[in-house]
Chain A
Amino acid sequence: MLNYIWAGLIVFSMLFALATDFSEILKDRFRNQEPFPVTLQLPDSYNAQDRRTEVQVVMDSGTYQHFFGTQERPAASYAGVLVQTQDGSQLQFGSNTTLPEPLLTMQAYHARNDGDPLRATLPPAFRPDSSVVTTTVQFAPVRFRKLKDIGQAALDFAETAASLALGLIGVLALFLGMLKIAEAAGIIHSLSRFVQPILRPLFPEIPKDHPALAMISLNLLANVFGLGNAATPLGIKAMEELQTLNPSEDTATNSMVMLLALNTSSVQLVPPVLLVAIMGLQINQLVFSITLATLFSTIAGILAAKFLSRTRRNRASDPMLNAAS
């Protein structure tokens, strides 16, 4: 099941990315290689020899909407920089303002770091002769943007996964240490006596004074106190005790199913350590929502186990009933 979900996530992201990329190429969303008309406002101090000149970039909103086939409306002007490079003049803008789409997407596509400006090249013949010039600029083409994105995301997330996990070490150690103390102090053993009478009606198949019920109560209490490490061995011991009462070798009894249902839904007073480590102090509040939610799921688990055991199919397969008849 998990295999399919996992593979599905990967395959679907691939297909989705490809579909988006091809539709963008077909619609030519970014007008790759097409010159785009802009007006530049140069300062009075402009000198063609200067390597960098602060300019204002004005995009006519009618032209913009027609050119990119969008409803987006560019602002009146954008602060930019005119840079002289070896390959000619380059216009950089949008590093400290939000550009309209699709320019924003194009900026993000080419940016190596956050906040990199959108770069556009000016025609080789660009020689401004007044303080306001109209010219065309050309943006670097954008292709297979989503495919690049998912590759980047995969690498980023793999990296964060490891660093996040290592960041959890301290808090995990703190709470695992605390839980070890609770375990060594026998918190579950001292409470076991009080829980057994409550559990008794749920396990009518267990004879009085049989050790199975004690094991079950220890297992469930370990769950309640978030002692995951202790809960599993206790649960297995409880299962083994139940198996001694089971007349069949390979068929689960109602008690076993009830134990399972209680285990998967059990009331949690202390949340799992992993969650504590992830959520930090937020866990203070979540303790209440978790306790309440588990209260409901425990009731549902008990009812489900009880009622499902009464269906005709489950009565027919009940090893206890079969042995009695």
Chain B
Amino acid sequence: MDTVRDIISVLSAFVIPLLLIGFPLYGLIKGVRVYEVFVEGAKEGFKVAVTIIPYLVAILFAIGMFRASGAMDFLIAALDPVMSFIGIPSEVLPMGLIRPLTGSGSAAIVLDMINQYGEDALVVKMAATMFGSTETTFYVIAVYFGAVNIRNTRHAVPAGLIADFVGLLASVYVVRLLFG
């Protein structure tokens, strides 16, 4: 396991540079006008940031109040025996609840947890992995089935939620295995 961790820590240095150099290089080879296309895509940055503000405010203020009231500590302490039985820290529970429902809201949870536990904390890595590895299932189902007027979704919701649940569990175990 230690060698795997070593390999990852070496490889991880390449991830961002690979993206930042690889994509333009690949575009160049394919004859894309890379600079213009980059700028066009980058224009979206402002729009995305502004679009998520209402979602961030909605979730962050509610979570912030919940934390400040002491209810969060109470909930975490109350659920700890159950959660530690399956090996999940209760701190990541809000993420597991919110993730299938809202994407920007989950981003708010990650931000709140960084605020609370620090960027390097294992629980933050777990929550971030959860955010990255599962989708806003209900939104996807609504959009995709809505587009073709499917009303009887049959086993789509249970299948999506099973995948989500496994993704959430796997995030916790994988992070513990790789960085724990």
Contact = CB atoms under 8 A, between A and B. Distances in A.
A and B together in one complex: yes
Interface of A: 1-2, 5-6, 9-10, 12-14, 16-17, 20, 146, 149-150, 152-154, 156-158, 160-162, 164-166, 168-187, 229, 232, 235-236, 239-240, 242-243, 249-252, 256-257, 259-261, 263-266, 268, 270-275, 278-279, 281-290, 292-301, 304-305, 308-309, 311, 314, 317-318
Contacts of B137: 264
A239 B145 contact: yes
A240 B68 contact: no
B138 A289 contact: no
B148 to A, nearest CB: 4
B79 interface: no
Given A154-B65, A293-B167, A304-B159, A287 B15 contact: yes
Contacts of A298: 163
20 contacts: A20-B69, A160-B60, A160-B115, A165-B49, A181-B26, A229-B44, A232-B143, A235-B140, A236-B144, A251-B150, A256-B156, A260-B144, A275-B107, A288-B8, A289-B179, A292-B178, A293-B171, A298-B163, A305-B159, A314-B154
Interface string B90-133: 00000001100111110110111011000110000100111111
Interface core residue of B32, B41, B44, B46 (most chain A CB under 10 Å): B41
Contact of A294 (B43, B125, B167): B167
- Most chain A CB within 10 A, of B15, B138, B149, is at B15
Given A9-B65, A153-B68, A284 B37 contact: no
B86 interface: no
A283 B152 CA distance: 39
B34 to A, nearest CB: 6
A1 B178 contact: no
Nearest to A241: B148
Contacts of B138: 1
Nearest to B179: A285
B50 interface: yes
A9 B101 contact: no
B91 to A, nearest CB: 16
Interface string B143-178: 111011111111110111011111100110011001
A149 B68 contact: yes
A274 B30 contact: no
Interface of B: 8-9, 11-13, 15-16, 19-20, 23-24, 26-27, 29-30, 32, 34, 37-46, 48-50, 52-53, 56-71, 74, 97-98, 101-105, 107-108, 110-112, 114-115, 119-120, 125, 128-135, 137-138, 140-141, 143-145, 147-156, 158-160, 162-167, 170-171, 174-175, 178-179
Nearest to B110: A278
B69 A149 contact: yes
A146 B68 contact: yes
A278 B41 contact: no
A160 to B, nearest CB: 7
A181 B19 CA distance: 11
Instruction: Report whether over half of chain A's contact residues are helix, strand or loop; otherwise say mixed.
Output: helix
Contacts of B150: 243, 250-252, 256
A252 B49 CA distance: 35
A223 to B, nearest CB: 8
Contact of A252 (B44, B57, B156): B156
Give the 6 A-B residue pairs with the shortest CB-CB distance, closest first.
A180-B41, A173-B45, A297-B167, A301-B163, A157-B64, A300-B166
B27 A260 contact: no
Nearest to B164: A264
Nearest to B154: A252
Contacts of A154: 61, 64-65
A171 B46 CA distance: 10
Contacts of B9: 285
Contact of B129 (A273, A286, A301): A286
A274 B129 contact: no
A265 B134 contact: yes
In this complex, the member of B103, B167, B175 whose beta carbon has the largest number of chain A beta carbons within 10 angstroms is B167
Nearest to A295: B170
Contacts of A152: 68
Contact of A301 (B97, B120, B162): B162
Contacts of A176: 41-42, 44-45, 48
A178 B171 CA distance: 26
B171 A187 contact: no
A173 B47 CA distance: 9
Nearest to A248: B152
Nearest to B98: A5
Contacts of B179: 285, 289
